[in-house]
Amino acid sequence: MSADPRRDRGSVTITMMLLLVVVLGGAGLIVDGGRAMAARRHAANTAEAAARAAVATATPVSGFDPQRARRAALDYAARAGVPIADVQVVVAADVVTVTITERRRTVFLVLGGKTTLTVRATGSARVNYSP
């Protein structure tokens, strides 16, 4: 113990403030990192499923209609809750590629000035007629 107890005043406050910063930073990584991973997973699953829905419109009899495939992909994404503005569909000869952009609000990272997390995922499907 020091000879002058007044000299130690406030040292616990500084330590607690530093600990609070570390705890909030860790919580931000855990909570907002988890939200980013969930958004990425949702975007990837939706993109892949929308691409599969698009190629499912093709039949051996009617063939592959790119406009119908595009509409099917956009409809699927809309039913999954993705705004149409956040969906990009590219239809090639026999491949449909869908890119989904997801935006999520942050919980803890807003304290650092980051209010939104943005993730993108792409899914592709190829038309394949089975005998």
* 29-66 pLDDT per residue, tens: 899 999 999 999 999 999 999 999 999 999 888 889 99
CB 70 within 8 A of CB 54: yes
Question: What's the mean per-residue pLDDT of the chain?
Answer: 89
* 107-123 pLDDT per residue, tens: 888 877 889 999 999 99
Whole-angstrom Cα Rg for the chain: 25
Q: Say how far apart CA 35 and CA 105 lie, in whole Å.
A: 9
